[in-house]
Amino acid sequence: MANKRLVTVIGATGAQGGAVVQSLIQTGKYQIRGLTRDAKSEKALSVAKLSDQVEMATCDINKREDLERAFKDSWAVYALTNFSIQPEVEIQQGKLMADVTDSLKIPYLIFSTLENVDKLSNGQLNVPHFTQKALIRDYIKEKHPNLKVIYVQSAFYMQNWQNRSKPQKLPDGTIVFASPLDQKATLHIGDADDTGPIVREILENPEKLVGQDICICSEEICFEDISKVFTKVTGIPSISKTLTEEEFRGTTSFLPKLIQDDLFYMYKWFEQYGCFGKHKDWTTGKQLTHLNTFEDWLKKTGWKGQ
Ligand SMILES: NC(=O)c1ccc[n+]([C@@H]2O[C@H](COP(=O)([O-])OP(=O)(O)OC[C@H]3O[C@@H](n4cnc5c(N)ncnc54)[C@H](OP(=O)(O)O)[C@@H]3O)[C@@H](O)[C@H]2O)c1
């Protein structure tokens, strides 16, 4: 283990980082340092138990000294930030990650980003959890031009339907995918677990991909086809329902207004520009490795809509 390259993974107990840890273990090539706010938590201990290639370390990504300790001796860092309604919090996390990576002369940083919705929509749409990540990327490019960074961009996770965008079940058993999206709107979607294979492929030959954006997106699919694919795979009747803004705000009334706005305008961004903007090649991840389509994911998980 001592001779293996060390890859440090932020968010190792979460969706993206957890998938990265799993895939890197399978290669048998790396020592993996997974970061969490509490290395003794049940979640963290269950990740540590996966393999003796994994060590879990406590690190608060808001603190420079924690990042310095956690990133030390890494060959590569997988970095993501957490959305905060205070923009400066998320932006500061990302800046710190890049500053520390550069100051410790870590060879590669893989940074999870998204697009600048404000700029690309000419100020028409405000989706801070996207734009904040893009502003971090601008900062990295400007302040750390020599840092070797590969950017990944996750599409809308299919897993969102299992938690934050859970469909309703009607009394007759029909599953209702409800979003403020036109039936013909194109959704870019991806299996969050595919973050793992993508990072594994990037690390096979990082030099080739330095400076590039890799989209973790398996397909673009019309909103109306989500329910059709669901029914085809599961045999359960299903519809895609377009919510008005008022209906959407009703279903998300438990969230602070700022977050409701962020999510509502995210759907409008998807409708008008797609997840990655009009001009980006969303197939870059698919060109590196197999990524699960919605059909693959339904078969893999056996998810029945609840
Ligand atoms: N949902 C989507 O469709 C989607 C699509 C693209 C991008 N994203 C972005 O993905 C990001 C979240 O990634 P995810 O979905 O992988 O996360 P997640 O499953 O929500 O888990 C969050 C992870 O971050 C860790 N964490 C939280 N606060 C931390 C702190 N202060 N210091 C250190 N670690 C901390 C948590 O670890 P502990 O709890 O163990 O401390 C956990 O591992 C967000 O920025 C979101 O905007 C989401």
CB of residue 61 inside a 6 A radius of ligand 1:
yes
Q: Is the pLDDT of residue 279 over 70?
A: yes
DSSP label at 162?
G
Tokens representing 165?
Answer: 């965008």
CB of residue 154 inside a 6 A radius of ligand 1:
yes
DSSP label at 32?
E
Quote the ligand 1 centre to 82 CA distance (angstroms): 5
Contact 238, 298 (CB under 8 A): no
E-strand stretches of 116-206: 149-154, 156-157, 168-169, 175-179, 186-190
Percent of the chain topping pLDDT 90 = 97
Q: Is the pLDDT of residue 207 over 80?
A: yes
**56, 198, 221, 299 from 52: Cα distances, Å:** 11, 22, 40, 31
Q: Is the pLDDT of residue 260 over 90?
A: yes
The full length of the chain comes to 306
**What HEC string does 69-117 produce?**
HHHCCCCEEEECCCCCCCHHHHHHHHHHHHHHHHHCCCCEEEEECCCCH
Q: 201, 193, 211, 203: which is closest to 17 by C-alpha?
A: 193
**pLDDT, average across residues 90-115:** 98
Intra-chain end-to-end CA distance of the chain, in Å:
42
Q: Ligand 1 test: best mutation among 37, 82, 130, 158, most atoms within 8 Å of CB?
A: 82
Q: Is the pLDDT of residue 47 over 90?
A: yes
pLDDT (tens digit per residue) in 119-147: 999 999 999 999 999 999 999 999 999 99
What integer best gives the mean pLDDT of the chain? 97
CB of residue 82 inside a 6 A radius of ligand 1:
yes
| pLDDT recorded at residue 33 | 99
Distance CA 262, CA 94 (A): 20
In one-letter notation, the amino acid at residue 290 is: H
Quote the ligand 1 centre to 236 CA distance (angstroms): 32
Q: Is the pLDDT of residue 3 over 90?
A: no
**pLDDT, average across residues 183-188:** 97
* Burial (0-12, 13-18, 19+ Cβ within 10 Å), 267: buried
Confidence class for position 2, pLDDT limits 50, 70, 90: low
Q: Ligand 1 test: best mutation among 9, 10, 36, most atoms within 8 Å of CB?
A: 36
Tokens representing 114?
Answer: 């998204």
Q: Which domains, ranges and CATH numbers included, belong to the chain?
A: 5-155+190-217+276-291 (3.40.50.720)
Q: Is the pLDDT of residue 1 over 60?
A: no
- 11-23 b/e with 16+ CB inside 10 Å = b? bbbbbbbbbbbbb
- The number of beta carbons lying within 10 Å of the beta carbon of residue 99 is 18
CB of residue 80 inside a 6 A radius of ligand 1:
yes
Q: 183, 236, 199: which is closest to 20 by C-alpha?
A: 199
Ligand 1 atom nearest to CA at 17: 16
Distance CA 249, CA 257 (A): 9
| pLDDT recorded at residue 85 | 79
Those residues with Cβ within 8 angstroms of residue 171's Cβ, 6 or more apart along the chain or in another chain: none
